[in-house]
Chains A and B, each alone.
Chain A
Amino acid sequence: MTIRSTMSRQGRGYALAAMTTASALALSAAAGLAQDYDPEAVINIGSLYEPQNLDNTAGAGQGINEAFNGNVYEGLFVLTDEGEVEPKLVEDYEISEDGLTYTFTLKDGVSFHSGEPMTAADVKSSIERVTAEGSASSRKSSLAVIESVEAPDDGTVVVTLKTPSISLPYNLSYVWIVNDAAEDISSAEDGTGPYTLQEWRRGSALSMVPFEDYWGDAPTNGGVMFQYFTDATAQNNALLTGAVDIITSIQSPDALSQFTDNPDFTVSEGASTTKELMAYNDRVEPFDDPQVRSALARAVDNERLLQAIWGDYGTLIGSFVPPTDPWYVDLTDVNAYDPESAREMLEEAGYPDGFSFTLDTPDYDPHPVVAQFLQNELAEVGVDVSINIITANEWYTKIYQQQDFEATLQEHVNHRDIVFYGNPDFYWGYDNAEVQRLISESEGVSSIDEQTEMLTEANQIIAEDAASMWLYLYPQIVVSTSNVTGYPLNGLNSQFFVADIQKAE
């Protein structure tokens, strides 16, 4: 559903956490050892996120990114599973002094699945597909900064901007390069990726096979089939019975025990970008007072909450920024759990007897449980929470559009989404001039380092200000049969690169 598809991948949450360097190394070592893989093996992947159509500018949902990003379609740049932005279909690029002109030199010898070579004209039309009037792409607004796209010759694309945008390469990693001769890509495809779409049966499965003329390294498997489930239990059963090899996301911690104690399966925890938070309406009393927000943050034991919901999985966060964003710093000490000081701060802020508010709670997991936990914790410091359960659609209308609420729970799934705090018109209405300045000016700087520095500062300010109550980062849990290796762990922005997956014989 809408909200979930772009912002709140319910359950596709996951967290960073514990994706320590050590475990990453251990995994890649394991992958390296699995020499005896079967290059013909078809990998079956279980997922709950079936695309609605095959066009990412037509409201296809997160499932299309999972299936197609980096697999069927590629961008000029790629956001790797580690969170780095790297060139993909560009060989090289230059930025003009004033930061307004990007000149991209395209990689040679890249061809589409239909056999046509990729040219600058394809890139131009691909970017314009995303920024077009009727486009429903989630990147449309970030690319609105583009003034024009020119193709002076087949190998060169020149993008002119209205204002400098240091994030352009990052944002372009979301833009599929599609053959400009392709007519309808809502049920067919023509990309440059390592796989071509073989068949899609709506409601059931989507299969793809390696593309023989792929410009890069050939996949280490003989094809991939995404099998779609509407029910998490059915999905888990499919893994247990060997009908699928991998599940891209485990929704519920209860289901994990069937896999953790079983040598036939590998349970991996990667870094997620899904943040569970209580968003206040920072425009209304008493939430317009940072002291009140800080007090509430101190009244809630996030560690106990995370433990209750996810057991040993998941990570605590001190702000909205997950560890895979470049501007992450550990801020868990800011307004850490301390109910004693919470009471004092409430008294100082003029609420010696506490106050009461309504918490609009989406009706799906984990929000209702989180709401009850918060109700109990806040009662300890004299704050009375009444829980109002709403549907995801009501959330969208009442909270997101009409901004008619006191506080709400929501999971925000996106990578690099601190920018929401720089927009005073966003639903939570956080209005801090310095944060707005840092966020908007960070786009116009000339180096990534400067951008990182400014956004790190903005990150620290929102944490000190307790702009929202950030509860925890979901764990990103991928479970596979133990003979399958080489799959991405973090699944940033729902991507699931499949070309390196290997299945032992």
Chain B
Amino acid sequence: MLGYMTRRLVILLLSLVAAAIVLFVLLRLLPGDPANALVGVGATPEQIEAARAQLGSDQSLLVQFVAYLGDLARFDLGQSFVSRAPVIEEISRRLSVTLPLTFAAFFLAMLLAIPLGIVAAVKARRWYGLVLSVVSQVGIAVPVFWLGILLVYQFSLTLRWLPSGGFPLRGYEDPGRAVQSMILPVLTIALIMTASLMRYVRSATLDVLDSDFLRTARALGESRTGALMRHGLRNAAVPVVSVLGIELSTTFLGAVVVEQVFSLPGLGSMLLLGIQQRDYPNVQGVLIVSTLLVLLVGFLADILQRVLDPRLRKEGGR
């Protein structure tokens, strides 16, 4: 297990370096110069040159790249071209919105999807089992921004229960309003996620229900529910956990859209703005941090799978 974790960590680090290289190259391929974004129309060529010198975008790509890698190694994500603020500070401020949003939505989705998915599997032939399956199919087809708009229409504009968007100036120092402004975004992500997660839980449970070991357990006198609880869930959890890792990453990235719909000052809106302004340090910083988080989640999901399933441990990894 320890050897596996070390190997897995090395892969994680290598992936991160590879991602850093790809990001750097892709961003430089985008048309447009950040200097233009700074000085604006009406600037003389000298002003543009001055801005380029100030930003370092007049240096050769190799020089920029080496500087960038060196900074990364020291966890220095640089300074925003546009706001001049340290990127890492901005990212941590933004993460204080995006991470709670992602995790709250994720746990809410698990809370809903796991029981509902099991019910949908166990009672697959009852009418409500069918209804659950249909609803989850429909849920997968609904675009996340559209659900967000619907929720705003219902709960903000019509019922006036919750704010339609924005985040309080003082953030979590104003906990009541901060929580209020998170409810609809969390619901939006959680509902969409529940729909897809439920299907995985349902099919994993169905597989287990058909399995030989469960039949044996029942033959030994356990009730269907008892057998499922004692032997089934842990087995069903293995494929679900690997999906959970992917789902969590998707949610994290999907927060971009939801943050836009609700005007939340999260990582997603920072990324969009950064791209528009060719603010390379901000964009790179957000993407590196996102990549790191996604890789970490994958890593944890792998470890968790091995904890749940001793067979994987013995085989030394897949």
Contacts and interface: CB of A to CB of B under 8 A. Distances in A.
Interface of A: 1-3, 5-8, 52-53, 58-59, 133-134, 136, 138, 140-141, 186-187, 199, 201-205, 207, 225, 227-231, 233-235, 237-238, 240-241, 243, 391, 393-394, 396-397, 400
B211 interface: no
Given A231-B261, A231-B263, A136 B38 contact: yes
Given A136-B43, A234-B261, A241-B157, A396 B84 contact: no
Contact of A393 (B36, B90, B171): B36
Nearest to A52: B82
Interface string B4-41: 00000000000000000000000000011100111111
B152 A237 contact: yes
Interface stretch (B46-54, B221-229, B288-296): B46-54
B93 interface: yes
Contacts of A203: 93-94, 167, 265-266, 269-270
B272 interface: yes
A396 B152 contact: no
Nearest to B85: A187
7 residue pairs, one from A and one from B, having the closest CB atoms: A203-B265, A393-B32, A6-B40, A237-B164, A59-B38, A234-B165, A7-B41
Interface in B260-275: 260-263, 265-266, 269-270, 272-273
Nearest to A394: B31
Given A53-B83, A59-B82, A205-B169, A241 B156 contact: yes
B40 A202 contact: no
B310 interface: no
B170 interface: yes
B169 A201 contact: yes
A467 B8 CA distance: 66
B166 A234 contact: yes
A3 B40 contact: yes
Contact of A241 (B40, B149, B160, B273): B160
Contacts of A133: 50
Interface residues of B, number: 50
A234 B152 CA distance: 9
Contacts of B42: 6-7, 138, 141
A2 B265 contact: no
B32 A396 contact: yes
Contacts of B278: 393
A418 B170 CA distance: 44
Contacts of B216: none
B38 A397 contact: no
Contact of A231 (B44, B260, B273): B260
Nearest to A414: B42
Contacts of A204: 166-169, 171, 265
A202 B91 CA distance: 11
Contacts of A136: 38-40, 43, 47, 51
Contacts of B83: 52-53, 186, 202
A53 B39 CA distance: 14
B263 A235 contact: yes
B47 A140 contact: yes
Contacts of A138: 40, 42
Contacts of B50: 133-134
B157 A2 contact: no
B40 A5 contact: yes
A240 B33 CA distance: 39
Given A136-B38, A229-B166, A241-B156, 20 more contacts: A2-B37, A2-B38, A2-B39, A2-B41, A3-B36, A6-B42, A58-B84, A141-B44, A203-B94, A203-B266, A204-B265, A229-B263, A230-B269, A231-B165, A234-B263, A237-B152, A237-B164, A238-B263, A243-B166, A397-B32
Interface string B40-70: 1111100100110010000000000000000
| Most chain B CB within a 10 A radius of its CB, from A204, A231, A238 | A204
B265 A201 contact: yes
B317 to A, nearest CB: 41
Contacts of B276: 1
B262 A207 contact: no
Contacts of A3: 36, 40-41
Nearest to B90: A202
B232 to A, nearest CB: 45
Contacts of A6: 40-42
Nearest to B171: A201
Nearest to B148: A234
B277 interface: yes
Nearest to A205: B169
B272 to A, nearest CB: 7
B39 A225 contact: no
B139 interface: no
Contacts of A393: 31-32, 36, 278
A503 to B, nearest CB: 18
B32 A237 contact: no
B163 interface: yes
Given A201-B265, A202-B265, A204-B169, A396 B36 contact: yes
A6 B165 CA distance: 28
| Most chain A CB within a 10 A radius of its CB, from B36, B171, B261, B276 | B36
A140 B38 CA distance: 13
Interface string B69-103: 00000000000001111000010011000000000
A482 to B, nearest CB: 18
Contacts of A394: 31-32
A85 B31 CA distance: 40
A59 B38 CA distance: 5
Contacts of A228: 263
